[in-house]
Amino acid sequence: MNDVTEEYTMFEKNTLEGKFGIITGGTSGIGFAIAQFLIGLGAKISVTGRNEEKLAEAVEKLGPNSFGLAGDVRKSSDVNRNLEEHMAQFGRVDFLCNNAAGNFLCPLSEMSENAFKAVNDIVAMGSFLWSKAVYPHMCEQKQGCIINTGTTYAQSQAAYVGHSGAAKAAVLNLSRTMAVEWGPQGIRTNVIAPGPIEGTEGVQRLMGGEKMREKMFAMMPTPRMGQGWEIGAMVAFLLSDLGSYINGAYIPVDGGLHLAVPGLIPAGIKIPMPVTTA
C-alpha cells in the first residue's frame, strides 16, 4: 500500500489485487488521485494522457504497477491503439474510469463553437469511445465495472460552465443507458460527482480566490475542500465486492454541494484561462 492508502483506508490492502484497469486523464488531479489509491489496494492500472512528458512523470510517481498510454480520448484510433497497448501489458481490463475532462469559465453568449465542441468531445465522446472499446473484453469476461466522472451541475445549473454541464449531463444519461443495456452481461456502470478537490488544477482555475471559496463553503453542509483520496475511496468501494449490487447510480462526493442553491458561480467574477485534463 502507498502512504495515502495506509493512512486513510479501511480496505484490506489486497482488496483490488488481480484487478486491472484504465483511467483516462489519469496524469494529474482527480484521475491521478484515483490511480494512486487503487494501486495502493493492489490494482494495476494504465493511465492515459496527451502530454507524454506529464504521462511519464505520472507513471514514475505511481510506480511499477502503472503503465502509460499516450493518446487522445477524442480519437477512436488512439483509443483502440491504447487499449491494445494496455492488453499487451496486463492481459485483461476489469474496470474503466472515464475521467478525462476539459473545463473553463465562459458565458454562453461569448463561447465559440470550437470551445463548446472541444469540451463535449473530450468528456462525452471520450467516455463513449472508451466504454465501447472495453465492452467486448468485459463481455468475454462476463464482468466489468465502468465509473464515469460526472459533476454536481449535470443535474442542476451553474453560470459559466454550460459547455461542461451539457457534456456531463450527456455522460450521466450515457452511463444509465449503459447500465441498462450492459448490466445483463455483468458490466456495472456508475457515475461519481466530485466536489471541489484540494490541489487540483481545476479548482485553482475555476474557484477563483478566497472570497469565492468562502461563498462556496457558506452554501455547503460540509464546508471544506475535498481530498483526492476521498474520491479514490469511493471508486475503490464501487470496484470492490462491496459495491457489486450498485449499477446505474449517480453518487455525489461533494460535501453536500449538490444541495446548494443552483447557480453556484456568481456573475462578475474574473474568468480564468481554460484548463483541460484529457
Q: Any idea which residues carry the catalytic annotation?
A: 153
What is the total residue count of the chain?
Answer: 278
Query: HSE on the CB side for 247, CA within 13 Å?
Result: 18
Q: Alpha-carbon distance 164 to 160, whole Å?
A: 9
For 66, phi then psi, to 5°, come to: -120, 160
**CA quadruple 155, 109, 75, 31: dihedral sign:** negative
Q: Cα 8 vs. chain centroid, distance in angstroms?
A: 20
Cell 511499477 locates to 64
**Residue 196, CA distances (Å) to 204, 233, 249 in order:** 10, 16, 20
On whether the CB atoms of residues 112 and 166 are closer than 8 A, the answer is no
For 97, phi then psi, to 5°, come to: -115, 110
User: Coil, strand or helix: which one is 144?
Assistant: strand
Strands 102-103 and 275-276: antiparallel
For 96, phi then psi, to 5°, come to: -135, 130
